[in-house]
Structure formats: structure tokens, C-alpha cells
Structure 1
């Protein structure tokens, strides 16, 4: 077997050089990422040592059927006829309180969604259907601004001001105690976020399951740490509440940017941006993690994409809005803890690049293994690698084992030990989705810099959690750990 030479080097020698460079690049960023995650782990373990850190359990009667103030619940819809009826019915059934109005925003060219909402609760006084005068889809933020205008008109008509605004998506399954928790929290802070619990669909769920892994760890470890450090908290767009006064202040700021409402119409992740704006404007936020008497999280449950294509589309929007637009639109806060958390939020494209390099490295290693077998003693050799390279590799292996253990721990706590054991095996799926989403997000961002219009590239929803028995709450087998 002969290997062609190029620049005086054989193909094998070039591959050995590429192997060395890719290894150095990947190890450098893997070590930095491992140190970053270990810092969050250390803070989380320190928090666990404090009395009262464990997740509190609340009984149904704590709300006593009444809210301290009036709340407005916003749901923006576009082509959601398959799920919005079940969502509205579930909300009106779960939330017994009368001190809220559910605003459903629809478009004039989406009659199926309007009909689905009307058929479920058209006569309920707690339901208000808002028809956008623009043809959809615009952006979710634009639809929310139209709902906000309708709410302001209702305030003038009724002579009553809402205490807060709660955001939800059209596929959400809510908890009966959610409004009570948000209502109480908004008496002390300007923004509150409750956990999100992705549901496991029937059958194979390698793609949908990785959302369970990510949210279980993020909303049980990362978000409590951010809250404890006093850093800005990102809003998830569901199970999050904002004080009425703060949204009005944000709306006034937006007016200076020629935006008619508090939601940034040209932003793909207006919910994330809202949460991060709160501390910039002198407000406070908090993350509340509570369970009911049965051990179920008080927050939102919903199905997430279960195919690679739909998952990539969704994460493209997240990465475009948070990592790329967020850098442009929000800049950097001068506080060290906020800089740290902003870097964590915006590291997605870099992580995708490092992972891509690592997978290319695996392919190169495969080719070199064949070359070593074929050439034997004639295999070319480069200079011996420095000693620190071996230490870094061993450190990364230990870090991978630790991260897999932590992910399995949090997933198992929420979904049971079987899903906990599957969580590390789903890491390659999450990596592939991130790599593909980063490529699409960078391309979409470059097109937006060239003047392309930002559109609502929403996720399609076909099944609501309340329609399937398999989506009923299942307390985690390891609940006693937190």
C-alpha cells in the first residue's frame, strides 16, 4: 500500500498532524468547560448543606381558592388547532380561582385555532380571545404585544389593574397551584420562574428524552445556583410571571426603540430577553421549585420535539435568539456573576464547534487505526506528545464520567432510575442536535444581518399531555435526594 505525498509529507503524516491539532483544540475547551461545570456543582453541593434547601411540598388547600391580586395569562397561537382546545380546557379546569383572565392570541388568517378555542370555553368569563389584525405568522413577541394591548384596554374598561402577567405556550399542561405560587411571589419580586418538566412520549424517545435530561439538570441545579448567586434569570416563556409595573416599564423602554409593547418583536427568544432585562432595570427575579403533596413538580409539563429535524429547528431558534441575538441586544453586564452566566448562556456555538472537532477526531483516529494495522512497524511517527497532554486526556475522561453521573442522577430523580440510566446514552443525540442547530443558527443570524426578516419558526404540536394516560405525573424513584 502506498500513500501519496503532499508537501513532502505522506497522507498518514498529515493525518497524524491533524490528529494532534484537533486533540489540543478539543482538550483545551473540554477542560475549561469541565472547570465551569464543576464550579456550578460545587456551589450546588454547598447549597445542599444549608438547612431548608430541600424542595418544599405544598398541599392543595394553601391557595384557599383565591389569589391576592388579578393575573393575566398570555398564550400566543399560530396553527395550534390540534392542541389549544385541550390546553384551554385544562387551564380553566385546573385553575379554580376567579381572579385571572386567560388571553388567547390568534391571527385573523387562522380560523381553525379560533374555532378550537371558542368551542372549548367561549362562554367562560375567564377567557378572552384576541384576534391579531395582521396576517400570521409574524413573531411570537408581536402576537404577545397585541395581547398586551387588549389587556390594557380591558384595564381601562374595567377600572382594575392586573397584578402580574403569566406567559404560557399553546401546548402546556399547567399545575393547579401554579397561579397561587406566582401570585405570592410577585408580591416580593418582579419576575418569577417555575420549573418546566418535558414529558416522555410513548415508544422510543431518544430525541425527546434528551430534553428531559437537560431540563431536569438545568431546573434542579443550574437555575437554583443562578438564583442563589443573584444573577439574572432567563425566562422560559412558560410558567413565568412578571409584575404589571415591570412590564409597563419595559414597554416604555421599548417605545424608545420604536417597539409598540414590552415584547421585542424582532427577537426570537423574547422570553429569555425579558428575564435578563429585569435586573438591568432594577427589578428582582426568583426561581421557585416546589412540589405538591403527591411529589409532582409545580410548573409546566409538555411534549417536546421527538425527531432530529424538529428538534434542530427548535434549538436553532433558541441558539439564534439567546447566543447570537442576545449578545447583540443585551450586551454584557458589568457584574462578574452576570458575565459568567451570560457566557454560559451564549457558549452554544462554541460547544458545537468543539464537539464537531471531537467527532472529526474520532474519524481520524479510525483511519489511523487502520493505517497502524496495515503498516505495522513502518507507521510514521511524530514527535512524542507533551506529558501534560496525557494528564489533560485523563482529566477529561474523569470529567465525562462525572458529568454522566450527574445527568443520570437528576434525570433519575425526576423520571425514575430507568430514564436515569438512559440519560448518559442520550448525550450523543444531544450533541448531534446541537451541532446541526449551531450551523443553522449561524446561517440564519448572518442572513438577519443582511436584512432578512425574522419570522416565527415555531414548533408544530400534535398531542397535548392531558390526552394521554402515559403523561400522568410519575414521581421520581430517587425523590429523597432533593
Structure 2
């Protein structure tokens, strides 16, 4: 080999060792963190506190104890909003709720679809924003909040709670009653989210099922048990009307309109933490109906790489970067721990990128050794231990992912969940990079806008086709 090639290989070997130390250290830190959550959940499971609560048959048809306002912001949702509204009206037979659908005058297709879905049902209230869209999702929610307040003043009947849903959601028949009863002794209630499988996108869309299933069956259950703040998912979550009014009043004193933070990309997540960290009480509910089905919000998540990266960019930007700025690190030790977990997205992207770069370098060095190069450096005992822990942790994590996904979606999806881990890692790397650049642009004064996910189909359509077969 030439001297130049030998110099390059020596430099790569130095880079390899540094990347190995960096990645292995953070993998061990992550392994300890995840293992602590696993042990906590296992303790809850063995003590019977992590089991799903079974609902009595027919509970979904029982009357509501209060009056509920359901907020559904919609921008460019003509393909799904009519199906969402129709399914809500079919699934929820009660009459003590009103669905407020927020649209924009410059989005006539969504307005027409929402009107078609309502079919003149008095439980649907179409609200047209006074500003051209898109603004932000939080701004649209604040417009719905103002419309609800105007209706309360006009009719003299106040709502007792507010439920949030997205324009593409498929609700569970028992969800409204579950939230209504959960708010009897709480100020904030969150139900699980269940991403629906999409045969046309088993790898991109499928990885959402793996992540949400484990998070909403383990992590959030543990958070609730240890008294940590519960983040809102923005769908399938309910808030006490009085507590929401108190938050709106405080923000009005600061010159803001409504309880939803219009300058935040993940206003739902922040709202849940704001409630849970204050004097209000938040709860995460895992319930199953009489047929054993999880009482959860079903939805189709992005099916293409570009859309998945865009969505996760928004999550990382809002939760990790804006959350650091806006919420800080105050609270009890358990809240700080959970904040660290929530905000690890950018660091995770960097560590994973280093790990995959390390694989490429290792491939080059192995090829060089096969060609006769003898540049081999022994690993230190500490690094060997970290590598063993990292690999063992990967196998442990894969087993947990399989178990949770298989429990909810079946053995085939459980096996795919392990194979989808590299897909999830690549999306995390790309989204983390984009989020950091996006955050940097906002620091330079760029205005936030509703960078929403496009939706072309609704889960209720697939469900009806399956029944027809």
C-alpha cells in the first residue's frame, strides 16, 4: 500500500476509536435510562397497577355527565374531515357534546367537506377563522375556544370539558364517556394513540405503531404511576373547562388570546405538561372495551419517508428545542428525568449518525485488513465493557419492542417491529438534523407556520371495507 493510503487508514482508525467511544458512552447512558423505565414498569405490572382496565358492556351508550366541546382544527383536510365527522356522529350517540371544526375561508375544499360530513347535525359547529390560513394549529384552536365561549354566552349553557382531536382521527365509541368520567376527579385526561397498519407502507408507517405502542403501554403508564407530568398527544385528550379557562385568563394577562400557545409547534404536548406540573391533576387512561379492544384514537400516520421526516422534525423542534426554551428544567427530579427523555431527540440523532458512520468506517478498515493491512489496535477494558452493554441493550430493546407490538398488532407485526428499527433510526437522524436547522431559522426571526402532515385516507374507510368482506 502507498504511504498516502496508509496515512488515510491510520486517520480513519483514529476517527473510528473516537466515534466508538462517543457512541458507546451514550448508548450505555441510554441503556441505563431505558432499563430503569423497564424495571419500573415490571414492578407496576407485577403489582397489578399496569393492567388495562376493562369497561362494562354498553358503557359507550351511557349518557355523559357533563357537556363536552370537541375541537377539531382543519387545514387542507378535504380528503378526511368528512369521514372524521361522520364517524364521530356514528360512534358517539350522546347529545351533550358539540364538535367545533375549525376551517379557513381560503380553504374552501375543507369547508365543503366538513359541511358534507356534518349532514346538518346540530352537534357539529363549523367555525371559519377570521385570518387566512395556515396560521398555526394552536391559533386555530384558540379560534375554536373563542367560538365556544361565544356560544356559552349566547345560550347560557357552559361546557364542562374540552376534548382535542385531529382531522384524520377515528375515535372509539367509548372514548367520550371515558374522558367524561376521567375528568370527574382530574383536570386533564389522555387516552392512548393507536397508529393503524397500512399495507402499502409496512416500514415507514409501521414504525409509528412500534413506537406509540411501547410508549403508550409502558412509558406513559410509568409516568402516571410515579406522579410525573403527563404530556398531551393532541388527540384523545380532555381538559376541564374551568382549568382551561384559568389558563386562558393567565395568558390573557400576558397579552395572549386563548389557552393554546400560538407560537409553539407542539402546543398539545406543552399544554399537558402545563396542567400536570401545576396544581391541576393529569391522568393517562388505558382502558379496554367489552370486546378487548383498546379504547384509543386510531389514525393513519405518514406513509412516505419525506412526510415522516417532516412530522418528526416538527415534534423534535417543538418538544426538544422549544420545550427547553419555553419550559426549562424546573420541577421535581422525576419531571426533570422525563424532560430529559422527551428532549433527547437531537442528541439521539447525533449518536445514531455517529454509529452508522462508524459502520461505514469499520467496513473500510475490514476491507483494508483483508487486503493485507495490519493496523489493529486493541480495545481498552472499559470500551469492551461498554460495547458488551450496548449490544446486550440492543437485544433487550428489540425483545421489548417485539413484545409490545405483537401484543397489540399480532406476531407478524411484532417481527416486523424488530426489522423496522433501522428505518426508525434513519428517520430519527434525518428529522433531528432538520429540526436543528429549523430551530436555528426561528432564532433568526423566521415566522412559524402550520407545517402539517397531508392525509389522503381515513381509518374508518378501511374498517368499513374489512367489515364488508
* TM-score under structure 1 length normalisation: 0.95
Match of 2:445 in 1: 451
Distance (Å, rounded) in 2 between the aligned partners of 1:44 and 1:471: 37
Alignment of 1:24-103 (within 5 A): 24-51=21-48, 53-103=50-100
The equivalent residue for 2:4 is 4
RMSD: 1.4
2:176 matched to 1:176?
A: no
Partner SS for 1:206: coil
* 1-structure distance, mates of 2:62, 2:381: 66
Show structure 2 runs of 5+ residues with no match. Answer: none
Match of 1:106 in 2: 103
User: Are residue 430 (structure 1) and residue 424 (structure 2) matched?
Assistant: yes
Q: Distance in 1 between matches of 2:368 and 2:134?
A: 54
Corresponding residue to 2:213 among 209, 212, 216: 216
2:465 and 2:429 map into 1 onto residues whose CA distance is 30
- In structure 2, how many angstroms separate the alpha carbons of the residues matched to 1:46 and 1:13? 49
Partner SS for 2:307: helix
In structure 2, relative to structure 1, the CA distance for the partners of 1:426 and 1:83 (3 Å cut) is same
Local SS of the residue matching 1:334: coil
**C-alpha distance in structure 2 between counterparts of 1:356 and 1:189, whole Å:** 42
Counterparts of 1:52 and 1:139, CA distance in 2: 38
Question: Are the aligned partners of 1:199 and 1:471 in contact in 2 as well (CA < 8 Å)?
Answer: no
Structure 2: how far apart are the matches of 1:165 and 1:27?
Answer: 45
Structure 1 residues 412, 74: CA separation in 2 closer, same or farther (over 3 Å shift)?
Answer: same
CA contact (8 A) 1:3 1:12 kept: no
Please, which runs of 5 or more residues in structure 1 have no aligned partner?
A: 474-482
Match of 1:477 in 2: none
| 1:200 corresponds to 2:197 | yes
From the superposition, tell whether residues 439 and 203 of structure 1 become closer, same or farther in structure 2 (CA, over 3 Å): same
Partners of 1:60 and 1:177 within 8 A in 2: no
The one of 252, 260, 265 equivalent to 1:263 is 260
After TM superposition, the structure 1 stretch with the greater mean CA deviation from structure 2, 46-55 or 32-41, is 46-55
Distance in 2, matches of 1:260 and 1:429, equals: 41
- Where do 1:367-406 residues align within 5 Å? 367-376=364-373, 379-382=374-377, 384-406=378-400
Change (3 A) 1:155 1:354: same
On the 8 A contact 2:102/2:127 being kept in 1, the answer is yes
**Structure 2 equivalent of residue 476 of structure 1:** none
TM-score (norm: length of structure 2) = 0.97
Q: How far does the alpha carbon of each residue in 1:113-167 deviate from its partner, in whole angstroms, 9 at most, with x for none?
A: 1111111224111110000010000000000000000000011111111110000
Contact map agreement 2:41 2:50 (CA 8 A) in 1: no
Superposition map of 1:57-456 within 5 A: 57-376=54-373, 379-382=374-377, 384-456=378-450
Cα separation, 2, equivalents of 1:254 and 1:10: 61
Q: Distance in 2 between matches of 1:386 and 1:290?
A: 50
The alpha-carbon deviation at position 202 of structure 1 amounts to 2.0
How many aligned positions are there?
Answer: 467
